[in-house]
Amino acid sequence: MERRTIFAGWVLPVCLVAPQLLLTVFFFLWPAAQAMWFSLVRQDAFGIRTEFVGFENFADLFADPLYLDSALRTVVFCTAVAGLAMGTALLLAVFADREIRGRAIYRTLLIWPYAVAPAIAAVLWVLLLNPQIGVVAHALKSVGVLWDYKLNDTQAMIVVILASAWKQVSYNFIFFLAGLQSIPKTVIEAARMDGARGWRRFRTITIPLLAPTIFFLVVVNIVYAAFDTFATIQALTHGGPGKATETLMLKVYRDGLINLDLGSSSAQSVILMVAVVVLTGLQFRFIGRRNAE
């Protein structure tokens, strides 16, 4: 979508866009191009010996059943995190949007966890859920739950999903709240007059009006789940037991920064990048559509 009215001249806009463009070229494009080059070579960690291997790094990945498992697991993980984080946030936002006493306090208390650093959040979850030292783990054990995510795949997955979703709820909550507040009260009133009640009114009026926010958040949440959760997973489960909680980004991080396999790690990031380009492409089409409305 383009605006019809614009200012003339090109010297000024070029000057205005230059600072960001320069930063982007030097600190993003240049390193990113190098990362792409790394995906096509075999190199030792120090970059002393380099050998061009074409698409061998990619071929190795796609031939590895463990990598394909990781990909599938990542899809499940992202869906679960996005669904849980958005569902919880929407529920809380809908009720926080009602005319109830203490609304402002509820809102503040639900918004501020946005500020918690991922590094600190990870420590928190260890303190809560760790089978050995966790407070919640002790409580679960005392009511007879066999809590041991170090050896139980399902529990491990639940743990990393919960921890990852928790961090994202505040963010979603803010957007949903903003979205709900921008729905004209007259529309809701009109629906009420028509006799639409609670759930039906929510489903037929609120959800469609929130659709732009929902779709925007779907993309943001999936990108978050795919890229920004590896530190949490590393802190909680190291991707284990076995490979039960290893996501693609965790593997990129570990192969690149711990196992020092730059070639494979770069190839994996290129694959991820392509995936995100597709996703953001979808987001863009969507934003474009929204603007046309």
| 241 neighbors 150 (Cβ within 8 angstroms) | yes
Cβ closer to other proteins: 50 or 204? 50
Torsion of CA 282, 110, 225, 291, to 10 degrees: 10
User: Using CB under 8 A, which of 158, 212, 214, 286 touches other proteins?
Assistant: 212
| 188 neighbors 205 (Cβ within 8 angstroms) | yes
Pairing of strands 41-43, 50-52: antiparallel
HSE at residue 166, side-chain half, CA atoms within 13 A, is 16
Instruction: Give Cα 287 distance to the centre of its chain.
Output: 18
- Restricting to residues 7-46, name those near other proteins by CB under 8 A: 7, 9-10, 12-14, 16-17, 19-21, 23-32, 34-35, 38, 42-46
Residue with tokens 């919640």: 136
In angstroms, give the least distance from the CB of 27 to other proteins. Answer: 4
In angstroms, give the least distance from the CB of 22 to other proteins. Answer: 9
- Restricting to residues 122-161, name those near other proteins by CB under 8 A: 123-125, 127-128, 130-135, 138, 150-153
Token pair belonging to 288: 């474009």
In angstroms, give the least distance from the CB of 28 to other proteins. Answer: 5
In angstroms, give the least distance from the CB of 75 to other proteins. Answer: 18
Number of residues that bind other proteins (CB under 8 A): 123
| 120 neighbors 180 (Cβ within 8 angstroms) | no
- Restricting to residues 213-272, name those near other proteins by CB under 8 A: 213, 216, 223, 227-228, 230-231, 238, 240-243, 252-254, 256-263, 265, 269, 272
Cβ closer to other proteins: 43 or 205? 43
DSSP state of 104: H
In angstroms, give the least distance from the CB of 68 to other proteins. Answer: 15
Q: Is 55 in the site for other proteins (CB under 8 A)?
A: no
Residue among 247, 193, 214, 287 at smallest CA distance from 76: 247
User: Using CB under 8 A, which of 146, 178, 190, 282 touches other proteins?
Assistant: 178
CA distance linking residue 189 with residue 208, whole number of Å: 16
User: Using CB under 8 A, which of 51, 69, 189, 194 touches other proteins?
Assistant: 51
- Restricting to residues 78-107, name those near other proteins by CB under 8 A: 88, 91-92, 95-96, 98-102, 106-107
- Restricting to residues 182-211, name those near other proteins by CB under 8 A: 182
CA distance linking residue 246 with residue 76, whole number of Å: 12
Token pair belonging to 222: 């999936």
